[in-house]
Every structure is written in structure tokens, then in C-alpha cells.
Amino acid sequence: MKLLAAYPKEIKVFLIASLISSTGGSLMWPLVTMFVFDELGRSMTDAALVIQILSLGGIAGQLLGGSLYHKLGVNRLIVGALALNALALFALPSTSSHWPLFLCNMALVGLFNSMSLPAIQGFIGFRFKAQRAELFNVIYVASNIGVALGTALSGFLADISYMLSFVLNGVTSAVFAGFFLFYLRKVGTAPELAPDLDLVRQRTEAAGTPSGWKLLGHTRIYLYMSIASLFLLVGNSVWNIGVSPFIISEGWPKKFYGFLWTLNGILIFVAQPLVSMLKRWFAQTSTAQMTLSAVFYLAGYAVILGMPSYPGLVLGMVLITLGEMLISPAIPSFISDHADRSAPFYLGLSGGIGAAGRVIGPFFMGSLYDRGGLAPTAWLACGVAVLSVLFFMLHSYMNRNSRRLAR
């Protein structure tokens, strides 16, 4: 990766903002699981239900965000979604004692948190066409350092106060919304950076942007890749619904869970040369990177299954992190390269389909964990990782001679 000074000023701003936002957002997943299981005293099936509802909201948010990109404009979509997300997070402490209300609130958190994702990715893809593959990776690194930092903090904060963690998450979302409110207004004075709403509508109409139903017909762009991502996220639920309660049940300190994600963040930063080497030697295209990513995920789940100990969890995290580093920049890069003006729609659509794995995964993982502990959840993770490898291979085959969609 280049030094930070080598990137455009706008990217430096997005790096800092993504780091802050992802740190707050990443607190939710492990904390919600531990909160329901530990604080509320409910079963892992109930904890999985909460994660499912959070994920369903996320699916709706990604689909809605991608569809509204050209209708609302970048400014309104990003700022509005983040501000509403902050309000939903602030409401969590007062709704936690009422189970149905708590579930509804979690759905809103998932919805508003995900609405801004396609807009941010689309903004970067349109603004920096020549560099977008590299910049998607840079933003990913900054974002996931925040994810690792937030998740690592979650274990420590859980020992102090769950409610404090929820409130801090709301604060970071509110700060992020305020930042974008002023930043996007500033860059909005330059049409090539962030055109206003009327200009967006004029350009969209002039270009004859296809309808959503027509865009859905181009299945090679999104379908097989999205199904493969769905399977990966089903398997990745093992961290929240398998590993997290396993650590608690073994009587280990909750911070051990945080240490795993600290390792994740360190690797995302220091293992960039290794990932660059893997791309150069084994996976030069974005489609090949997706397939290789799924192979690493499969290897990580296999290690968790075969070594149900803390060293095994550490090694599994190393392998899965390498897979994560390969796939996260590859998907938005592929879509931006092949979908042109329709990229925000496909970014939201693929993200929404993939996120369905976070709904399906917790349901099965929670039931399996309640019946047999960590082992059956790891078996499920291995099985769906195999399916993910096969669907990514199919996606690569279907796009072997693909061209960009017509504008």
C-alpha cells in the first residue's frame, strides 16, 4: 500500500471517517450476542433471533440504499441514514427491558446502519475511476482496523457496561453524520465530486438508466457472487453464535474474544504484503480473489472444528482474516468495473443478498450450539464454505469473457 500522503485529500478524509464509524458499528455484533446471552439470561437461540432481525434490517438497508442513490443524492442518503442510526442506538437502553420493542429497535439499527454503505462505495467508485480498485482496498483496511478495534473493545466494555457500549456506538454514528453533513456540502461545490440532487436526476434521465427489473436480468453480474457471499456469511456467524458463547462457557475472560479481533485488525494492516503476493501469484483478477478467499475461509473453519482450543481459534482467525482481506475489496471493485452507472444498484443488491447469510446463519448456529456446543456450528461453517467456493467458481466461469454493461 502507498503512504497516506500519496492519496487524494478526499480519501484521507474517508479513511479517518471509516475508521471512526466502523469502530462504533463493530461493537454491536458481539455485544448484542453477549448482552442477550449474559445480561438478559436468554438462550443462544434468542440471541440468534436478535442477530437475525439486525441482519434483516441490514438487508433492507442495503437494497434501499442502492436504489435511492440516484434519487436522493449522496448527501441526503449518507447523512440521513447515519443520523437515524444514531437515534436508534440511543433508544436501545430504554427498550432493552421490553423484548418485542427491543427487537423492533434492533431492526431499525440494522436498516439505518446499512443504508449508507452503497452510497459511500458508489461515491468512491464514481469519483476515482482510475484508482478505485486500490482505493476500495485502502478504505477496507481503514474500516476493518476500526472493526477489529471496536470488536476488541467490546469484550472489555462488556465487563464494564453493555449500555455504555450501545451509547458510545450511537455517539460515533452521530459524529459521523455531522462530519458528512459538512464534508459533502463542501465537496458538493465541485460537480465532479458530488453533484446536487437535480443534476443527478437530469443525468440519470438523460442516460436512460435501466429500470430495476431490467437490471435484475443481468444475473452474471451479481447473482452467483452474491449467493457465494451469502454462504460465507452463514459460516462467519460461528464467531458470534459459536465462538463467543464457547469462550463464556469455558470460563475464559470475555477479553479473550476481544483479543481475537485485535489480531484480526493487526493482520489486516501488517499482512497486506502477503495478500498482495497472493494476488500477484495466485489471484490476479477480482473473480479469482473471491474464490481464493472462500478457500481460506474453509481452512479457517476446519481449524476451529479440528482444534477447539484457544490456539485453534487464533489460527482460525488468521486464515479467515486472509480470506476477508481478499474478498472485501474484490466485490465492489468487480461491480464498479462491470456495472458502470448501475454500480450503486448492484452494490446494494449484492450486499443485501449476501447479508441474508447473517439472517440464516444465526438461526441454524444458535439451534446447533444449544444442542451440541461449538462442534456442530463449525461443521456447518465448513459445509457452507465448500458451497461458497463452488459458487465463486461458477461466477468466475460466467464472467470469463464479460464486458461492462451498456450505459
Residue 64 placed within a domain: yes
Question: How high is the pLDDT of residue 8?
Answer: 64
Mean pLDDT, all residues of the chain:
79
pLDDT at 298 over 50: yes
Question: What pLDDT is stored for residue 390 in this prediction?
Answer: 97
Q: Are residues 217 and 184 in the same domain?
A: no
CA 35 to chain centroid, in Å, comes to: 21
Least confident residue range of 80-89, 145-154, 376-385: 145-154
Q: What angle do CA 359, 364, 368 make, to 5 degrees?
A: 150
Its pTM surpasses 0.85:
no
Domain assignment present for residue 202? The answer is no
What's the confidence (pLDDT) of residue 104? 92
Residues 67, 116, 391, 222, Cα dihedral to 10°? 30
Q: What is the 3-state secondary structure (H, E, C) of 94-106?
A: HHCCCHHHHHHHH
Residue 319 lies in a domain: yes
Q: Among 3-12, 196-205, 377-386, where is mean pLDDT lowest?
A: 196-205
Per-residue pLDDT tens over the stretch 118-127: 777 777 767 7
- Cβ-contact 223, 356 below 8 angstroms: no
Q: Confirm whether 1 is domain-assigned.
A: no
Q: Domain ends where: 152, 172, 188?
A: 188
Position 181 scores a pLDDT of 80
Same domain, 107 and 243: no
Note the pLDDT tens digit of each residue in 151-193. Answer: 667 667 667 777 777 887 788 788 878 877 877 677 653 434 4
Please report the pLDDT score of residue 283 as a whole number: 87
Quote the cell numbers at residue 347: 452494490
Together in a domain, 74 and 145: yes
In a domain, 69, yes or no: yes
Instruction: Determine contact, residues 341/209, Cβ cutoff 8 Å.
Output: yes
Domain that holds residue 238: 212-406
242 and 387 belong to one structural domain: yes
Write down the pLDDT at residue 357: 85
CATH of residue 103's domain is 1.20.1250.20
Residue 3 lies in a domain: no
H or E element in which residue 404 lies: none
* Co-location of 178 and 275 in the same domain: no
228 and 177 together in one domain: no
Query: Tell me, what's the pLDDT at 192?
Result: 40
Q: What is the pLDDT of residues 92-115, one digit of tens each?
A: 888 877 888 989 998 998 888 878
Alpha carbons 279 and 1: distance in angstroms, whole number: 13
Number of domains in the chain: 2
Which pLDDT does position 197 carry in this prediction?
41
Q: In this model, does residue 206 exceed pLDDT 90?
A: no
Residues 176 and 230 in one domain: no
Of 132, 156, 188, the last residue of a domain is 188
Same domain, 165 and 75: yes
Q: Is residue 135 situated within a structural domain?
A: yes
In this prediction, residue 266 carries a pLDDT of 83
pLDDT digits (tens, 9 = 90+) for 213-238: 677 878 888 899 999 999 999 999 89
Residue 56 lies in a domain: yes
Q: Are residues 278 and 336 in the same domain?
A: yes
Same domain as 373, residue 309: yes
What pLDDT, in 10s, does the model give residues 139-155?
Answer: 767 776 676 666 667 66
User: Do 165 and 261 lie in a common domain?
Assistant: no
Can you give the pLDDT at residue 16?
66
CB neighbours of residue 311 within 10 Å: 9
pLDDT digits (tens, 9 = 90+) for 255-284: 788 788 778 878 887 888 999 899 999 888
Q: What is the pLDDT of residues 302-355, one digit of tens each?
A: 999 999 899 999 999 999 999 998 988 888 888 878 877 777 778 778 888 887
User: Is 163 in the same domain as 238?
Assistant: no
